[in-house]
Amino acid sequence: MNNRMHERRVLKRRHLVVYLDVIDRAEGTVLGQLGDISSEGLLVISRRPVPSDRTWQLRVALPDLRGCRGEYLDVDALPCWSSADINPELVCTGFSFVDIDDAGRDKIASLVQILGFRD
């Protein structure tokens, strides 16, 4: 992992009430499930560790709910940290977005509004 893993998160990540598939766009395979998200990054829960040697091209298929009908959130992201989940068969990996546009931020806001836990 790089030095970014030691940086403190400024924005609060929002846990979702459903787990959505996170797809590796380069391979077309499911990398894991979306655990939480903010406008700066996301958490992927997977069965295998995610290599930290590259920028990942990720896709989250948004649920067919108001504001997110049949759309995708496509982002490029770098793994910042990885650790065992509370379930020892799973691994959590925190990603930081490399670059995200306003449309992507709007999709994240809609996703959190619709599926996020209320504080």
Domain annotation for the chain: domains and CATH numbers: 3-115 (2.40.10.220)
Would you state the pLDDT for residue 112?
75
* Residue 2 in tokens: 């790089």
The sign of the CA dihedral 113, 114, 117, 119 is: positive
11 pLDDT more than 60: no
- In this prediction, residue 69 carries a pLDDT of 62
The CA distance from 81 to 79, in Å, is 6
Q: Give the residue with greater pLDDT, 71 vs 73.
A: 73
Mean pLDDT of 12-19: 54
Rounded to an integer, the average pLDDT of 51-63 is 91
Closest CA to 57 of 20, 100, 9: 100
pLDDT tens digits for range 86-118: 888 999 999 999 989 999 998 888 877 776 644
99 vs 63, higher pLDDT: 99
